[in-house]
């Protein structure tokens, strides 16, 4: 089900872009400031409308919201297909299992990135939970071999294991930083790290 009004679509597109760049959704105040709206209540009404249409899902425990696109409700011309390359760890690194499965993805989630530059991985573990990337989610990854410091990246470690972490360069080492207050960053020699993509969006399967 698509947004009902142009303003709803604009707000949803902004949330998608923001979360793709920063790994978390913007606050009501940030959305209001971006659109030049003085009242956060106005933004809250648009968010509530997007929730009713199944495009945003509210986290009841803290009142924040996450993207939860219901693919089955979208018309076929609003979808594209991307390959699902097995699982990736957001915890202890796991080997990525490649396969040829294709999954349908809402085209607007990709922004300006062409579908052929995107692949998907299913997240295992909870080390990125503070970025609202949870176990069982499907992460949409732009196929790239470079990343800026602070971006959430898929990294291949020592030609054996892949994981999803924020990346920072520390001289001859790469720091891989989880988003979980119970976990510590860790470093590996830069020559053992191969960047395989940048986090661009999230699908949360609806059970």
Distance CA 11, CA 90 (A): 29
Q: Is residue 1 part of a domain?
A: no
Which token pair is 132? 């609202």
Q: Would you state the pLDDT for residue 167?
A: 95
Tell me the β-bridge partners of 140: 120, 201
Which of 68, 103, 122 delimits the end of a domain? 68
Determine, yes or no, domain membership for 102: yes
Range of the domain at 63: 6-68
Residues 111 and 164 both lie in one domain: yes
Catalytic residue among 19, 38, 76, 165: 165
Q: Determine the pLDDT at residue 78.
A: 67
Give the Cβ contact number of residue 76 at 10 Å: 6
CB 133 within 8 A of CB 139: yes
Q: What three-state secondary structure class fits 52?
A: helix
- Structural element, H or E, at residue 13: helix 6-22
Q: What whole-number distance in Å separates Cα of residue 84 and Cα of residue 118?
A: 10
Across 88-111, b (16+ Cβ under 10 Å) vs e yields bbbbebbebeeeeeebebbebbbe
Using the 8-state DSSP alphabet, how is residue 189 labeled? E
**Any idea how long the chain is?**
207
| Domain count for the chain | 2
Question: The domain that contains 93 carries what CATH number?
Answer: 2.10.109.10
Catalytic residue status for 127: yes
Whether residue 30 lies inside any domain: the answer is yes
**What are the angstrom distances between the C-alpha of 138 and each of 51, 133, 199?**
20, 9, 11
Do 148 and 129 lie in one domain? The reply is: yes
Query: Quick one: 147 and 59 in the same domain?
Result: no
Asked whether residue 88 falls in the same domain as residue 41, the answer is no
The span from the first CA to the last CA of the chain, in angstroms, equals 17
Q: Which of 78, 112, 106, 108 is nearest to 11 (CA)?
A: 108
Residue whose entry in the numeric block shows the structure tokens 């957001």 = 90
Q: How far apart are CA 83 and CA 140, in angstroms?
A: 10
d(CA 79, CA 108): 8
Q: Are residues 99 and 177 in the same domain?
A: yes
User: Is residue 206 a contact partner of residue 68, using CB atoms and an 8 Å limit?
Assistant: yes
pTM over 0.75: no
Q: Given 45, 124, 127, 181, which residue is catalytic? A: 127
165 is catalytic: yes
| 60 and 97 both lie in a single domain | no
What is the chain's pLDDT, residue by residue, as a tens digit (207 residues)?
556 777 888 888 788 777 656 656 788 888 888 888 888 888 888 888 888 877 777 655 444 555 555 545 555 456 788 888 877 765 544 444 555 578 888 777 777 788 888 988 888 888 898 888 888 888 889 988 999 999 999 998 887 788 899 999 999 999 999 999 999 999 999 999 999 899 988 887 765
């Amino acid at each position: 089900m698509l947004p009902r009004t142009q303003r709803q679509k604009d707000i949803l597109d902004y949330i998608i872009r923001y979360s793709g760049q920063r790994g978390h959704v913007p606050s009501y105040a940030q959305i209001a400031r971006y659109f030049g709206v003085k009242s956060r209540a106005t933004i809250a009404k648009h968010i509530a409308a997007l929730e009713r249409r199944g495009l945003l899902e509210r986290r009841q425990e803290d009142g924040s919201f996450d993207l939860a696109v219901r693919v089955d409700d979208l018309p076929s011309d609003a979808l594209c297909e991307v390959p699902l390359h097995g699982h990736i760890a957001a915890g202890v690194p796991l080997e990525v299992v490649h396969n040829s499965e294709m999954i349908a993805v809402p085209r607007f989630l990709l922004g300006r990135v062409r579908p052929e530059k995107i692949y998907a991985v299913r997240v295992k573990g909870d080390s990125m939970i503070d970025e609202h990337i949870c176990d069982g989610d499907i992460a949409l990854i732009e196929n790239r071999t470079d990343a800026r410091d602070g971006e959430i990246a898929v990294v291949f470690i020592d030609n054996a294991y892949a994981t999803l972490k924020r990346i920072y360069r520390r001289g001859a080492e790469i720091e891989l930083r989880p988003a979980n207050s119970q976990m510590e960053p860790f470093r590996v020699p830069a020559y053992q790290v191969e960047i395989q993509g940048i986090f661009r969006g999230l699908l949360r399967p609806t059970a």
